[in-house]
Amino acid sequence: MMRLPLFEFRAPRTLDEAARILDGQGPNTMPLAGGTDLLPNMKRRQQVPRTLMSLRYVEGLNQVQWSDSASRLGACLTLTDVAEDPRFRNGMTALSQAAALVATPHIRNMATLGGNLCLDTRCNYYDQNYEWRKAIDFCLKKDGTICWVAPGSRKCVAVSSTDTAPALIALGARVRLVSRSGEREVTLSELYNNDGINYIRRRPDEILVEVLLDSLHGWKSSYWKLRRRGSFDFPVLSVAAAARLSRQAVVEDARIVVGSAASRPLVADGASKFLLGRSLNSETIAEAAGLAARIAKPLDNTDFDMTWRKRVTAEFVTYALRELRGDDMHVERGSLTRHSFE
């Protein structure tokens, strides 16, 4: 049986108390929410924090506040909470779809929205037991000096594998971070770096407490995920698209995000801008898909062949845009996800 390393356990009841615990501790103290990412990493000795600070008992972190102008989603909402709540449909469909496709029903009952946004980057050379990593003399991300994916690289290329981040970036979300020294709001797309080690701009003393969304009135959104099986697997490519369409189906605003193709979700600005003022027809969709796919740079560190992942990116963007246009994508979605959407 794989065992956790020893750690000190803290269970603050208030956000203030939690912020005080993290203050000045650096990465040695880590917040624990659902545990589905951190605990396996600890068992594999990828992350060995000396103190775990549970967010379970901190009040107010699993609330949803709705209003016409904006919504606030608590970071400790479970992914099941998000996936099963019908209020997360329509404009927020991409978020609902992304949450529903994370891992397994059991994991979604545990894993939190905030945890999925902070998910450690993943790599076939890194997500391995201590003994395995010893056999490759470790890697750049943890305890080693070489990135085995790209041995010439000075930068870690571990992959952003969160499902909800691409969806929420497409929805224009911001997040609120709280620390002892204060709090700040960050546009979600600004939360990430394209660096497998320093992939997130959350400081170790900050707690991601909520996700903020402006009104999505008039918006439609869609999330598509590539993985081998119908459950368990992390995305190895994902596309989130959101658009506001006029009555004549002309794109008034759009955001396309490609996930799991770099160390951060990639915002396909070129493709989004191209669509502005155009209607979604086969030609414009194909052009936008090509533009969006151009930015995907998958490498050989996940499931599936990297050239194939690159190759199908345009297809996935096409699926997402066709769904926004109102095409019945039932068959494609069922075939890819193996879920039935009756």
Q: Which residues bind another protein (CB under 8 A)?
A: 1-9, 11, 32, 34-36, 39-40, 43-45, 48, 50, 52, 54, 56, 80, 103-107, 109-110, 124, 127-132, 134-137, 146, 148, 151, 228-234, 303-305, 307-308, 311-312, 315, 335-340, 342
Q: Rounded to the nearest 5 degrees, what angle is found at the Cα of 248, between the Cα atoms of 243 and 250?
A: 40
The rounded distance, in Å, linking the Cα atoms of 145 and 292 is 33
CB 171, min distance to another protein, A:
25
| Nearer Cβ to another protein (227/255) | 227
Task: Please classify residue 191 by burial: count the beta carbons closer than 10 Å to its beta carbon, then call 0-12 exposed, 13-18 middle and 19+ buried.
Answer: buried
CA count, 13 A, side-chain hemisphere, 186: 18
The encoded tokens of residue 218 equal 């008039």
CB 244, min distance to another protein, A:
29
| Nearer Cβ to another protein (10/176) | 10
- Closest alpha carbon to 309 in 92, 159, 169, 176: 159
* Strand ranges of the sheet holding 8-10, from the earlier edge strand across to the other edge: 8-10, 51-54, 29-32
The rounded distance, in Å, linking the Cα atoms of 178 and 339 is 38
CB 166, min distance to another protein, A:
19
CB 246, min distance to another protein, A:
30
* 240 touches 257 (CB < 8 A): yes
CB 10, min distance to another protein, A:
10
The encoded tokens of residue 234 equal 């992390």
Task: Please classify residue 197 by burial: count the beta carbons closer than 10 Å to its beta carbon, then call 0-12 exposed, 13-18 middle and 19+ buried.
Answer: middle
Residue 188, amino acid: L
| Nearer Cβ to another protein (253/300) | 300
| Nearer Cβ to another protein (68/328) | 328
* Partners of 212 in the β-ladder: 72, 174
The rounded distance, in Å, linking the Cα atoms of 137 and 214 is 47
| Nearer Cβ to another protein (133/255) | 133
CB 338, min distance to another protein, A:
4
| Nearer Cβ to another protein (86/182) | 86
CB 120, min distance to another protein, A:
13
Specify the residue for token string 């790599």.
Answer: 123
CB 63, min distance to another protein, A:
18
* 114 touches 18 (CB < 8 A): no
| Nearer Cβ to another protein (32/208) | 32
CA count, 13 A, side-chain hemisphere, 61: 29
| Nearer Cβ to another protein (116/128) | 128
